[in-house]
Chain A
Amino acid sequence: MFDLFYIPEIILSIGILLVIVIDLYIEKQKYFSYLLIQFLIILASFYALTEVPTHAYSSYEFSKFTSLIKFLLLVGALIIFHYTYRHLNYLNNLKIEYFTISVLGLIGTMIMISAYSLLMLYLGIELLSLALYALIGFNKASKLSSEAAIKYYILGAMSSGILLFGISLIYGFTGSIDYFEIAEQISSVNNNSVQFLGIIFGMIFITASLCFKFGAAPFHIWVPDIYQGSLVSTTILLSTLPKVAVFVVFLKLYFIPFITLAFIWSDILIFIGIASIVIGSIFALTQENMKRLLAYSAISNIGFIILAMGLVTDDGLNASLYYTIVYSFTALASFGIITHITSNSHGIEDISDLAGLSKTHPYFAILILITMLSSAGIPPLIGFHAKLMVIQALINNSYIILSVLVVLMTVISAYYYLRIIKTIYFENRENLISTYTRNNILLSINVILLLGLGVFPFIMFDITSYLASILVDISI
């Protein structure tokens, strides 16, 4: 019984209860509570990497794949909290509750990853969304923040309702909420029966809701508003951890219970992917606000991930895994830089604020240069390999026209990334940017890795192909 304690979720849940109580007594020493939380996350990530629990619980899956993804999430959370602490400290808005709520959301993402029944999936999604509602509205004095929070709340609750409606249909027509039993039921259903139609109905409702949580194209309305309205530290959290978790949920849902319906959902996913890429690339062209621009860039990146997943082949799966990890890595770097460049409580707002950054803060200018070139997909950097893999997978499956469209959209999106670089290096204006630190080792490592892993791409190829191989072991 004792080895149950090594499960990262349990370490985090027990630890966070302790932190809530301890924080009451040492209200003044916030740094100590913060260190305690970071220690918890390091402990949890250590056990996530070293121990794969063997306990069986029918609706909760432990495997090498989930453990590795959890490890990646925990490391991401570690870095995000590091930036967050310094950012909130600078804004004089430091409350330990920010971290406790984030950790509860982190537990939600881990539940989503391990979920093996629709009930567990629902609970994980809700734990994550509830945490995000609170974190987006955390900046109470700001009108923008509270407006963003209520918008996200209404749309998020509506999408949960749609998810539940889909789940109820799946439950009604297959008689189960367990992934494995659903898969068995669907494979034995006649393709022309009403029951089959009902299952497809339910799957479409679930897909719509998950695409909302992902921020993919027809359901992307909230993304720019919420990115703009919330604190930068919340925006990093919003653009990395939930995306990875929802991606894994997509993989598990489509490749375990709905695998026999692949001929239907692959078309839907390809459509959503292409729409996201097009909308994300074109709408970003006119944005003046840095956070809105990055939001549209996130939409188009998610389009790439969904598109690669919709191919339902080994190389498509590989490409989508690769792209997800690269995307979250790049998002971590780009938003991490923005947390360091601060001129007011919402971080930098307009791109024109960055003019002349290369003169005043050359260190941050170089970091932005590398990150933006990587996002644009310029060859030696890692973003190039990610985009290349998706396009290769498209061509291998003879989607020639789509691959041409995707390349075209990549070229268009390179324009706005390069515009930021042009503003930084070639426009001279007095800028109001203040930084609270001259440099940050973690941020530098993050950005150097974008370059280094791009020069030696086989390291990441090995990791993702290993992930893909252990994923295939589970699902088939």
Chain B
Amino acid sequence: MNIELITFIIFSSLLIFTSIKVITSSNPVLSAINLVFSFFLSAVLWLLLGAEFLSIILILVYVGAVMVLFLFVVMMLDINIAKKNAAYIKYLPLGIGIFIVFNILIILFFINTFENINYNAISSINIISESNTENLGFVLFTDYILEFEIAGLILLLGILSAIILTYRKNPNNKYQDPARQIDVRKKDRLKVIKGLKE
């Protein structure tokens, strides 16, 4: 037993445990925290696979931005934490059934599948240096430059639609409108009443 295998076993079993907690917690905050743990654990496993840049990105972008967004929404929505209700129990067998069937199908298929495959004539991308980040950057700005620009469009679309969906003018806001203040004439405010006598 080497150290790599031990690391893999510890982290993968923890990952499965936290994933189960994500989908079964009744409290969304707990789910989110468990999801954060899952991201950390998979970042470690990605390091084992040699994807250093992506594992850092996973923590910085996912935990740092996306999960914080999730937690922010949890706080903002102010949801009552409900107890596990009957519906949850009702659909649990269905969930377990799906889980077992899919897993048996796919795991049986994956065991020892890849050890006896021979690929013919794959054009692999040349790796220019030891650093994973440098390689990734090199490929990203040469072979995948068009995809990179389209990703920019997708982010623009994300910004636009998130703003357009959530932005609203609050009618209760109290603010001055200078244009209307200037527009006011004497007759709008002052009413002279004539002939008032006793």
Using a CB–CB distance below 8 Å, which chain A residues touch chain B?
13, 17, 20, 57-60, 95, 97, 100-101, 104, 107, 111, 119-120, 123-124, 126-127, 130-131, 133-134, 137-138, 140, 172-176, 181, 184-185, 188, 193-195, 197-198, 201
Known: A97-B160, A126-B154. A140 touches B165 (CB 8 A): yes
Output the nearest chain A residue to B119 by Cβ-Cβ distance: A175
Nearest A residue to B162 via CB reads A134
Contact in complex: B117, A194 (CB < 8 Å): yes
Identify which of B123, B157, B160 contacts A176 (C-beta below 8 A). B123
- Given the known interface contacts A123-B147, A173-B117, A185-B119, the answer about A101 and B153 at a Cβ–Cβ threshold of 8 Å is no
When the two chains form their complex, are residues A104 and B156 in contact, meaning their CB atoms are under 8 A apart?
Answer: yes
The reply to whether B160 and A101 contact each other, CB–CB distance below 8 Å, is: yes
Query: Could you tell me if B123 and A181 are in contact, using CB atoms closer than 8 angstroms?
Result: yes
A195 CB contacts on chain B under 8 angstroms: 117
Q: Are B161 and A130 in contact (CB under 8 A)?
A: yes
Contact, CB under 8 Å: B168 / A140: yes
Q: Which of B109, B158, B161 sits near A197, CB closer than 8 Å? A: B109
The number of A-B residue pairs with CB atoms under 8 Å apart is: 78
By the criterion CB–CB under 8 Å, are A127 and B157 in contact?
yes
- Could you mark each residue 119-157 of chain B with 1 if its beta carbon is under 8 Å from any beta carbon of chain A, else 0? 111110000000000000000000110110011011011
A194-B157 in contact (CB<8A): no
Tier of interface size on chain B: 20 to 34
A-B contact pairs, 22 of them (CB 8 A): A57-B146, A59-B147, A97-B160, A101-B161, A101-B164, A104-B153, A120-B146, A120-B150, A123-B151, A127-B153, A130-B157, A130-B158, A140-B168, A173-B117, A174-B119, A176-B123, A185-B119, A185-B120, A185-B122, A188-B120, A194-B109, A194-B113
Query: Helix, strand, loop or mixed for chain A's interface?
Result: helix
Contacts A123-B150, A198-B113 known; A131 to B157 CB distance under 8 Å? yes
Query: Cβ of A137: which chain B residues have Cβ within 8 Å of it?
Result: 165
Residue B85, interface by CB 8 Å: no
Give min CB distance, B124 to chain A, whole Å.
8
Closest 8 CB pairs of A and B: A134-B161, A175-B122, A97-B164, A175-B119, A104-B157, A123-B150, A194-B113, A195-B117
Q: Is residue B2 within 8 Å, beta carbon to beta carbon, of the partner chain?
A: no
Q: How far is the CA of A108 from the CA of B50 in the complex (A)?
A: 33
